[in-house]
Amino acid sequence: MLVNPILLIFGLFLLGVVICFYIVRRPTRPYLSGVCLILLALFLGCTAVVNASLPPVSQFDWANEVMRKLTPFVVFRKQPTQEECEASFRVYQSIDIGLVTATLVSIGYDIWNSLLRSSRPEEEP
């Protein structure tokens, strides 16, 4: 595996629960945008961890050492090679692009819904 399956299962489960919640309840608050932003931050962090394990090494050795210790968890290998880290970086990069797209779409959806709600006349009881 080039990506930790625990992270994938957690992300897909959380996204699925929120999408089902949107279908059933049609909430007025932007829960989907928030979840997409949280998942984007999580996977961007994973991408940064994998990127820190690739050469060239930056000048912040203490920060790179901390990130390199997290690399086996993120890549899901005991001692990942440089090729595995590069392949994992490409996978995480694709996940990040998908999450950025999903976040922008969900924010657009929330803005669209708020504009539609504000343009409707409110019913008086």
pLDDT tens for the chain, 125 residues: list them: 678 888 889 989 998 998 898 888 877 788 888 898 999 999 988 888 888 887 776 556 666 677 778 888 888 888 888 888 888 888 889 999 999 999 999 999 888 888 887 776 666 55
- Separation CA 38–CA 102 (nearest Å): 12
Q: In 10 A of CB 117, how many CB atoms?
A: 10
pLDDT at 125: 57
- Separation CA 32–CA 38 (nearest Å): 10
Question: Which tens digits make up the pLDDT trace of 73-106?
Answer: 888 888 888 888 888 888 889 999 999 999 999 9
For residue 20, what are the CA distances in angstroms to 11, 36, 52, 64, 112?
14, 14, 36, 39, 19
Would you kindly state where each structural domain of the chain is located, as residue ranges? 32-114
Q: What is the pTM of this model?
A: 0.77
Q: Are 89 and 54 contacting, i.e. CB atoms less than 8 angstroms apart?
A: yes
